């Protein structure tokens, strides 16, 4: 999903979720992004963050079975977009 300079990609496969974000940097964005993922019951296993000109994040997540929520890739994309906007 690429909207007005924001790029969000979420790919889900059998309990694993891959997330890629590129958008304008703003204070607190990393913390709010992590909180958004945790709210969906996703535990970050690996993460690469870049904050040079823009904010970039690539993360591999697993589902927290105790917090598992019914969600689609589109639900996660929309929540991350709202978080960054």
Check which CATH number belongs to the domain holding 70 and give it: 3.30.70.260
User: In whole angstroms, what is the distance from residue 9 CA to residue 58 CA?
Assistant: 9
pTM score, two decimals? 0.79
Please give the full DSSP string across the chain, using - where no structure is assigned: -EETTEEEEEEEETTEEEEEEEEE--TTHHHHHHHHHHHTTEEEEEEEEE-SSEEEEEEEEEE-TTT-----HHHHHHHHHHHH-
Query: pLDDT by residue (tens digit) across 12-45?
Result: 888 789 999 999 888 999 999 999 999 888 999 9
Query: Residue 19 sits in which domain range?
Result: 2-84
Query: pLDDT by residue (tens digit) across 46-84?
Result: 999 998 889 999 999 998 766 555 678 888 888 888 888
Structural domain count of the chain: 1
């Amino acid at each position: 999903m690429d909207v007005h300079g924001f790029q969000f990609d979420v790919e889900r496969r059998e309990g694993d979720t891959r997330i890629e974000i590129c958008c304008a940097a703003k204070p607190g964005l990393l913390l709010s992004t992590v909180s958004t993922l945790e709210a969906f019951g996703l535990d970050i296993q690996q993460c690469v963050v870049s904050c040079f000109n823009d904010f970039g994040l690539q993360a591999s997540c697993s589902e927290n079975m105790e917090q598992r929520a019914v969600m689609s890739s589109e639900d996660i994309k929309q929540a991350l977009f709202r978080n960054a906007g």
